């Protein structure tokens, strides 16, 4: 990637005019494309849009999100005169609304109930009674068709007709003298205003004396701009009416009012916090950069990225969610990282080409991982989340393109590095990653916060994240109480492709609602209640009508006519009723029922081109709503039950599921790409682990301070995760760069991260001062999230990388790998368990039981077997024992052994069960195996040889050899140290043979100053005995110590020459390159494999003297040769500065190897 970007840079450096033409063209094209992007202001786009949720979403939009505005008209008193004035004022306002500029957006005005209109509806029902009678009606009617009941009913009709209302009710009574449609009329009446509403002069009044005007608007509640114009015109009409009627006042309330008050509050808060943050951010940039040009380029980069995102979004999607794009504008806080890092590094490295070379890798790795993570949103079943994913990803892509292609040519040219003005140098210059107190505190707090992380929760109450004035809250509570009669309302919606199929589905659902009502789960059902029958229900009812009258028609009509004549009615008074009973009825189309549809069905029937929905309002106790909702949804797939709260829960569940999906998928994608780009699992974990730990901190702190996630800030939390991803990648790449080249670059990365974090912290954190709950929650999450990711980014990558590559302030000769770490943990655990088990066995044998020579011998055989098994089954270690002299260890001797590692004890124990080892105090008092040592009768040499002679003489008598390390301590570099005289003194005093044992490889597998097991081989070579009578090495213990060390060194060097081949050191050489970038590691690994570890080339070199190797590349051959030939001085020539730096800074490079640029 760096080669491609450098090639593009070189091309545009030669053709700068072409560069500016390209930039202008891209900017113009993006402006044109972005201008054509359409926006959708619909919060329901956040809901899942699969087949099941799509149905619910549509119903939710049409029923709950339909735009209803209630206008209250108040008077100074509640007298009838004041009420009359309210009626006139409402009429005047309604007339103004019908002629205002947005009048065409008003679907319906409801402020009065016209008695004449309702009478016409009642007469329509009476004239067409067969279509409206139910089974309950027929049961009631059947008991009222005897002579007595008919006579009583006709007498009542006569009394009404002769009263003052007789002229009004005359058509209805003559058409239905027996009140057959009484039940249907009652159902019709129940659909009208009641409960906490009252009528005055046919106008609707609330129970508190205010007249009501309810506006049903065609503008969706989510379209803020159109609703803002509508509300403005409405307020104008209200003000004009107030001026006309001095004694009344108006105010309106609705979802739009709340939405607009939220928008205004957001604008005010955003302006306040924006000005505050802008001043602080600008001050930070001015102090850090002190260049208007560089500050302008920072903003130009992110603005170009935003423009690029909008343009590409138009080409890909055509339209986008305004809310999603607004939320993802937070990504500007991540995008600004890229120009900040580039310009910050340019301050230290004036050459833009060198900056590209150094920084293109962390920039592109961070960009691709973050973009890949956000692209996972594209696969979520939510249009808004997809828009969010596309915009966020494209914004980052556009910004990185500007930074890599155009920014290097736009920066000011300078010959020397610019003075450092970082305002955070006091913080970034501290070695937090190596401060044990800080690391311990962070680890402790992480463990502590993990216990509080379960305390974080999701805010399920949407009202808590909406801004409402006190007046709005009061109106909301009052209106909700009036509409629901102080009960909870559950919406039960049936749907069909055609109006008739929807009606049929609704009729089938009414049976289930009837059952619930009988059980007491619901108190009342509001809806069309079968008053608009489907064709199937018409056929059923007409059949029932015909069957009912087939056997009753003649007798009932005969009785009716006789009683009517007796009471003085004209002979043809009930001709319409006789015709209804006698005529033949047919199935009618839906248009036939238009009088009902237009008057009472409008609130319950929603007709759309693709489907029709029938709404039933279920009144019930709030605590029963979830169970009833679930039961209805499980029972009927053609109907949907929901309420405002359940849709909120559904949205929350959807966002929560999406968030979990995004979190896991983002984490997986980020980790896989880190693994691919960094090339090592260890480096990927170093970059990824801080993200996981920061999430524990975020959850824990939110749990402690009772902060809640909501549908707004939960998405910000995901973006902060992406911000932390960039930070840890830059820290990891900076550590790799410094480890590889030993050039200081991490400081510029730390400064850029600190500045970026400060900008994000100030820009979003300032919202903590906002009054809008949602904005304030954004500020809270920003403060907690940015604090967490910065702490983790500054502490854990340096600490973990330092652990892998250095120890005690020096570079490790062989860096730690995850494999070595796991094997070391396994081996240490195995050793602890083994030591504990052997100690327990020793306690049972020697503490509980009597100590005998047989038990001692058995215990030693056990140690011998365990040591032999362990050394021959050690992970990634091959152990070889050379005993060419045929030593059987039957005759006791003083075993001499060089000392390199803790493994030396195991190597000696596996040679013979008849062995006692002299140890130092540290081993004797070890908490892990000190008691085991004492059970085996090993002796501490620090007590003095004179005091142990009798014990050792007794051990000799029992046939035990005595092992001692004449060096007295482990060698740190596997070289042979000075021999002390104690071993030779013991041999002289006890008259025992000396048995030299040479160990090789234990110091490489487990070095003295390291507890990490390495891959390697161990050689144990047993040399011939040296008897007391053998004078080749002197006659006393002083001379023998000196002479035997020379002999030992010759044997050890001979073993080294035979064992230390290129294959022996190949693993060490390869490990010196594993944390220097995947391309370097791959190249070295390939070269070693291709050249068979350079065995032939190294064999051709002399064992001593001087030699020059040319074009050594990364230096693997020269390093391998220097290790194999320690007495050969090697000069490696490599003209490439970067490759030479990589080779020079290998920790395993011995003193006999030097690198030069030219011979």
CATH code of residue 1132: 3.40.50.150
The residues, ordered by sequence, that sit 6+ positions from 556 with a Cβ below 8 Å of its Cβ are 145, 150, 549, 581
Alpha carbons within 13 A on the beta-carbon side of 562 = 11
H/E stretch holding 488 reads: strand 488-496
Within a domain: 936? yes
CA dist 207 and 478 (Å) reads 10
Q: What is the pLDDT of residue 405?
A: 93
Structure tokens at 87: 């009626």
Strand (E) positions, 928-1049?
Answer: 939-940, 961-964, 993-1000, 1016-1022
Considering the domain architecture, whether residues 753 and 839 belong to the same structural domain is answered as no
CA dist 765 and 1 (Å) reads 36
CA dist 104 and 126 (Å) reads 35
**Using N-to-C axis directions, what is the helix angle for 224-244 and 255-289, rounded to 10°?**
120
Of 1015, 1016, 1012, 987, the residue nearest 999 (C-alpha) = 1016
Q: For residues 683-705, give the mean pLDDT.
A: 90
CB 965 within 8 A of CB 941: no
Residue matched to tokens 């309420």:
643
Structure confidence at residue 193 as a pLDDT band (50, 70, 90): very low
3-state helix, strand, coil in the chain (%, to 5): 65, 10, 25
Within a domain: 986? yes
Structure confidence at residue 32 as a pLDDT band (50, 70, 90): very high
Q: What is the pLDDT of residue 1124?
A: 94
The total domain count for the chain is 5
Q: What is the pLDDT of residue 194?
A: 47
Q: For residues 20-46, give the mean pLDDT.
A: 82
- State percent of the chain over pLDDT 70: 89
Q: For residues 43-60, give the mean pLDDT.
A: 55
Q: For residue 787, how far is the Cα from the chain centroid?
A: 17
Does residue 114 carry a pLDDT above 80? Answer: no
Of 333, 369, 389, the residue nearest 687 (C-alpha) = 369
Per DSSP, what are the bridge partners of residue 110? Answer: 214
Sign for the pseudo-dihedral over CA of 622, 628, 630, 633: negative
Within a domain: 665? no
pLDDT tens digits for 767-785? 888 887 877 887 888 888 8
Q: How far is CA 27 from CA 16, 22, 32, 405, 407, in A?
A: 17, 9, 9, 14, 14
H/E stretch holding 280 reads: helix 255-289
Residue matched to tokens 């959807």:
654
Q: What's the 3-state SS for 394-445?
A: HHHHHHHHHHHHHHHHHCCCCCCCCCCCCCCHHHHCCCHHHCHHHHHHHHHH
Does residue 891 carry a pLDDT above 70? Answer: yes
Q: How far is CA 1051 from CA 833, 885, 896, 898, in A?
A: 37, 14, 13, 11
Within a domain: 79? no
Structure confidence at residue 662 as a pLDDT band (50, 70, 90): low
**3-class secondary structure, 223:** coil
Report the chain's terminal Cα–Cα distance, integer Å: 32
**3-class secondary structure, 599:** helix
pLDDT tens digits for 130-178? 888 888 888 888 888 888 888 888 888 888 887 776 677 788 788 888 8
pLDDT tens digits for 431-465? 888 888 999 999 999 999 999 888 777 776 666 77
Say which range, 324-338, 520-534, 735-749, 955-969, has the weakest mean pLDDT: 324-338
Within a domain: 1151? yes
Considering the domain architecture, whether residues 880 and 988 belong to the same structural domain is answered as yes
pLDDT tens digits for 905-949? 999 999 999 999 888 777 777 777 788 888 888 888 776 777 788
Structure confidence at residue 20 as a pLDDT band (50, 70, 90): very high
pLDDT tens digits for 362-383? 888 888 888 877 787 777 666 7
pLDDT tens digits for 88-99? 999 999 999 999
Structure tokens at 414: 């300078």
pTM, 2 dp: 0.74
Q: What Rg do the C-alpha atoms of the chain give, in angstroms?
A: 46
Within a domain: 1110? yes
Considering the domain architecture, whether residues 788 and 857 belong to the same structural domain is answered as no
**3-class secondary structure, 1015:** coil
At which of 550, 567, 585 does a domain end?
585
Give the residue, 638 or 976, on which the prediction is more confident: 976
Within a domain: 482? no
Strand (E) positions, 244-376?
Answer: 248-254, 319-321
At which of 521, 552, 585 does a domain end?
585
Considering the domain architecture, whether residues 325 and 410 belong to the same structural domain is answered as yes
Phi, psi of 891 (to 5 degrees): -90, 125
At which of 762, 777, 808 does a domain end?
808
> What's the CATH number where 709 sits?
1.20.1640.10
Q: What is the pLDDT of residue 910?
A: 94
Task: Judge residue 472's burial from the number of C-beta atoms within 10 Å of its C-beta, 0-12 exposed, 13-18 middle, 19 or more buried.
Answer: middle
Q: What is the pLDDT of residue 731?
A: 92
Q: For residues 216-230, give the mean pLDDT.
A: 76
Of 746, 877, 776, 859, the residue nearest 823 (C-alpha) = 877
Of 238, 224, 217, the residue nearest 95 (C-alpha) = 238
Considering the domain architecture, whether residues 832 and 852 belong to the same structural domain is answered as yes
Q: What is the pLDDT of residue 783?
A: 86
Alpha carbons within 13 A on the beta-carbon side of 584 = 0
Say which range, 51-65, 635-649, 1012-1026, has the weakest mean pLDDT: 51-65
- State percent of the chain over pLDDT 90: 31
Average pLDDT, the chain: 84
Q: For residues 1067-1083, give the mean pLDDT.
A: 93
CB 178 within 8 A of CB 153: yes
> What's the CATH number where 1025 sits?
3.40.1130
pLDDT tens digits for 378-422? 776 667 778 888 888 899 999 999 999 999 999 988 778 888 788
The residues, ordered by sequence, that sit 6+ positions from 296 with a Cβ below 8 Å of its Cβ are none
**3-class secondary structure, 641:** strand
Considering the domain architecture, whether residues 880 and 969 belong to the same structural domain is answered as yes
The widest CA-to-CA distance across the chain, in whole angstroms, is 159
Within a domain: 620? no
pLDDT tens digits for 1019-1043? 999 999 999 988 888 888 888 888 9
CB 727 within 8 A of CB 789: yes
The residues, ordered by sequence, that sit 6+ positions from 394 with a Cβ below 8 Å of its Cβ are 305, 308, 309, 312, 313
Considering the domain architecture, whether residues 323 and 397 belong to the same structural domain is answered as yes
Considering the domain architecture, whether residues 1022 and 1130 belong to the same structural domain is answered as no
Considering the domain architecture, whether residues 543 and 396 belong to the same structural domain is answered as no
pLDDT tens digits for 1041-1054? 889 999 999 999 99
Considering the domain architecture, whether residues 1031 and 1097 belong to the same structural domain is answered as no
pLDDT tens digits for 462-483? 667 777 767 767 766 666 655 5
CA dist 672 and 376 (Å) reads 14
The residues, ordered by sequence, that sit 6+ positions from 153 with a Cβ below 8 Å of its Cβ are 144, 177, 178, 179
Q: What is the pLDDT of residue 804?
A: 93
Considering the domain architecture, whether residues 988 and 1093 belong to the same structural domain is answered as no
Q: What is the pLDDT of residue 723?
A: 80
Considering the domain architecture, whether residues 995 and 1106 belong to the same structural domain is answered as no
Q: What is the pLDDT of residue 578?
A: 87
**For residue 159, what are the domain limits?**
114-191+535-585
């Amino acid at each position: 990637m760096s080669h491609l970007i450098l090639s593009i840079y070189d091309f545009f450096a030669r053709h700068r005019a072409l560069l500016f033409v390209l930039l202008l063209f891209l900017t113009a094209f993006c402006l044109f494309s972005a201008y054509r992007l359409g926006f959708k202001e619909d919060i329901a786009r956040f809901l899942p849009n699969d087949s099941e949720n799509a149905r619910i979403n549509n119903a939710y939009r049409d029923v709950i999100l339909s735009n209803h505005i209630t206008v209250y008209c108040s008077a100074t008193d509640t007298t009838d005169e004041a009420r009359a004035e309210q009626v006139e004022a409402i009429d005047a306002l309604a007339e103004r609304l019908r002629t205002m500029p947005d009048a065409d957006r008003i679907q319906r005005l409801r402020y009065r109930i016209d008695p004449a209109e309702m009478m016409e509806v009642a007469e329509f029902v009476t004239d067409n009674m067969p279509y409206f009678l139910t089974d309950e009606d027929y049961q009631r009617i059947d008991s009222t068709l005897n002579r007595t009941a008919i006579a009583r009913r006709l007498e009542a009709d006569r009394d009404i007709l002769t009263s003052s209302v007789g002229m009004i009710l005359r058509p209805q009574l003559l058409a239905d003298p027996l009140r057959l449609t009484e039940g249907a009329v009652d159902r019709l009446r129940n659909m009208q205003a009641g409960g906490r509403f009252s009528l005055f002069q046919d106008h609707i009044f609330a129970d508190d004396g205010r007249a009501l005007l309810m506006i049903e608007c065609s503008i969706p509640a989510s379209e803020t701009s159109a609703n803002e114009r509508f509300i403005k015109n409405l307020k104008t009409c209200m003000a004009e009416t107030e001026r006309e009627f001095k004694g009344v006042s108006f105010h309106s309330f609705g979802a739009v009012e709340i939405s607009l008050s939220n928008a205004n509050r957001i604008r005010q808060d955003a302006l306040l916090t924006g000005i505050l943050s802008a001043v602080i951010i600008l001050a930070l940039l001015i102090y850090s950069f002190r260049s208007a040009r560089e500050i302008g380029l920072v903003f130009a980069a992110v603005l170009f990225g935003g423009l690029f995102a909008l343009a590409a979004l138009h080409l890909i999607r055509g339209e986008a969610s305004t809310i999603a794009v607004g939320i993802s504008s937070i990504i500007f806080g991540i995008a600004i990282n890229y120009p900040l890092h580039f310009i910050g590094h340019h301050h230290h490295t004036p050459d833009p080409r060198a900056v590209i070379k150094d920084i293109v890798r962390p920039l592109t790795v961070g960009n691709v991982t973050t973009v890949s993570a956000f692209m996972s949103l594209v696969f979520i079943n939510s249009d808004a989340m997809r828009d969010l994913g596309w915009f966020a990803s494209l914004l980052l892509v556009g910004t990185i393109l500007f930074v890599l292609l155009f920014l290097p040519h736009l920066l000011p040219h300078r010959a020397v590095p610019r003075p450092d003005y970082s305002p955070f140098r006091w913080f970034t210059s501290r070695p937090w990653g190596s401060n044990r107190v800080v690391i311990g505190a962070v680890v402790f707090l992480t463990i502590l916060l993990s216990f509080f992380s379960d305390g974080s929760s999701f805010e399920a109450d949407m009202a808590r994240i909406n801004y409402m004035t006190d007046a709005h809250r009061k109106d909301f509570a009052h209106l909700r109480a009036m509409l629901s009669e102080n009960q909870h309302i559950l919406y039960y919606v049936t749907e069909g492709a055609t109006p008739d199929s929807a009606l049929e589905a609704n009729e089938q659902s009414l049976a289930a609602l009837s059952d619930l009502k009988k059980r007491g789960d619901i108190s009342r059902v509001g809806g069309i209640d079968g008053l608009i029958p489907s064709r199937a229900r018409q056929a059923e009812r007409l059949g029932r009508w015909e069957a009912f009258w087939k056997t009753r028609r003649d007798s009932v009509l005969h009785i009716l006519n006789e009683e009517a004549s007796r009471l003085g009615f004209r002979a043809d008074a009930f001709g319409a009723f006789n015709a209804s009973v006698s005529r033949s009825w047919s199935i009618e189309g839906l248009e036939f029922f238009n009088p009902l549809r237009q008057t009472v069905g409008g609130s319950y029937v929603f007709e759309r081109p693709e489907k029709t929905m029938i709404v039933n309002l279920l009144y019930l106790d709030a605590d029963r709503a979830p169970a009833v909702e679930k039961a209805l949804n499980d029972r009927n797939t053609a109907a949907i039950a929901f309420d405002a709260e359940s849709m909120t829960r559904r949205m929350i569940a959807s966002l929560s599921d999406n968030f979990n999906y995004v979190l896991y998928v983002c984490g997986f994608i980020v980790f896989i790409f880190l693994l691919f780009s960094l090339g090592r699992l260890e480096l990927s974990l170093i970059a990824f682990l801080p993200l996981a730990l920061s999430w524990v901190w975020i959850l824990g702190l939110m749990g402690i301070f009772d902060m809640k996630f909501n549908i707004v800030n939960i998405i910000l939390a995901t973006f902060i995760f992406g911000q932390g991803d960039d930070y840890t990648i830059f820290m990891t790449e900076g550590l790799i760069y410094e480890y590889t080249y030993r050039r200081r670059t991490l400081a510029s990365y730390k400064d850029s991260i600190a500045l970026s974090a400060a900008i994000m912290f100030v820009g979003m954190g300032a919202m903590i001062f906002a009054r809008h709950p949602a904005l304030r929650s954004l500020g809270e999450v920003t403060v907690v999230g940015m604090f967490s990711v910065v702490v983790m980014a500054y502490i854990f990558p340096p600490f973990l990388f330092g652990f892998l590559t250095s120890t005690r302030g020096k570079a490790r000769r062989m860096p730690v790998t995850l494999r070595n770490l796991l094997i070391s943990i396994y081996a240490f655990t195995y050793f602890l368990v083994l030591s504990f088990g052997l100690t327990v066995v020793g306690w049972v044998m020697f503490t509980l039981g009597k100590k005998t020579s047989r038990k001692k011998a058995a215990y030693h055989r056990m140690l011998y077997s365990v040591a032999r098994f362990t050394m021959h089954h050690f992970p990634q270690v091959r152990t070889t024992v050379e005993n060419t002299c045929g030593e059987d260890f039957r005759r006791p001797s003083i075993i001499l052994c060089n000392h390199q590692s803790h493994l030396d004890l195991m190597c000696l124990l596996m040679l013979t069960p008849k062995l006692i080892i002299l140890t130092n105090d540290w081993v004797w008092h070890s908490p892990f195996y000190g008691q085991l040592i004492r059970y085996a009768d090993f002796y501490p040499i620090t007590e003095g040889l004179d005091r142990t002679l009798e014990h050792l003489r007794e051990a000799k008598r029992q046939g035990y050899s005595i092992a001692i390390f004449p060096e007295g301590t482990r060698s740190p570099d596997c070289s042979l140290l000075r021999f002390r005289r104690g071993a030779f003194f013991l041999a002289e005093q006890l008259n025992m043979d000396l048995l030299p044992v040479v160990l090789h490889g234990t110091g490489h597998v487990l070095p003295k100053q390291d507890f990490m097991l390495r891959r390697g081989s161990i050689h144990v070579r047993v040399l011939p005995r040296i008897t007391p009578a053998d004078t080749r090495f002197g006659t006393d213990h002083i001379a023998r110590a000196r002479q035997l060390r020379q002999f030992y060194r010759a044997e050890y060097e001979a073993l080294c020459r035979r064992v230390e081949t290129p294959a022996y050191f190949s693993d060490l050489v390869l490990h010196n390159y594993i944390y220097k970038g995947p391309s370097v590691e791959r190249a070295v690994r390939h070269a070693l494999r291709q050249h068979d570890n350079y065995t032939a080339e190294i064999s051709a070199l002399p064992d001593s003297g001087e030699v020059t190797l040319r074009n050594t590349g990364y230096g693997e051959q020269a390093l391998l040769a220097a290790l194999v030939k320690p007495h050969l001085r090697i000069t490696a020539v490599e003209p490439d500065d970067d490759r030479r730096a990589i080779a020079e800074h290998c920790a395993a490079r011995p003193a006999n190897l030097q690198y030069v640029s030219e011979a």
